[in-house]
Amino acid sequence: MRHITYETEGTCSVLIDFDIDDDNTIHNIEYTGGCNGNLKAISRAVEGKTADEIYDLFHGITCGYKPTSCSDQLANAVMEAAK
């Protein structure tokens, strides 16, 4: 299992930490910054899902006027880690 720290862009959160195992399953997601309760809910909801599943759920979601969101950044982070 590898530990990943991903620097977000364009969101209130600044970092996403998570673990990824050999079959691209994601565990232990933690955000630094952002909307604490919402990000805990996202983390809990996708615990144990694959990078592909998370990407399919969250890629392209925006936040207000921003072209991205904390969930979109997670989608990018897990796909980058899965490569």
Domain CATH for 52: 3.30.390
pLDDT of residue 36: 93
Domain count, the chain: 1
Which value, to the nearest 10 degrees, does the dihedral of the CA atoms of residues 67, 11, 52, 42 take?
-120
The bridge status of strand 26-33 relative to strand 13-20 is antiparallel
Range of the domain at 72: 2-82
Read off the pLDDT of residues 31-57 as tens digits, 9 standing for 90 and up.
999 999 999 999 999 999 999 999 999
Write down the pLDDT at residue 43. Answer: 97
In the prediction, which pLDDT does 14 show?
97
Average pLDDT over every residue of 51-67: 97
d(CA 83, CA 79): 6
Q: How much is the pLDDT for 77?
A: 98
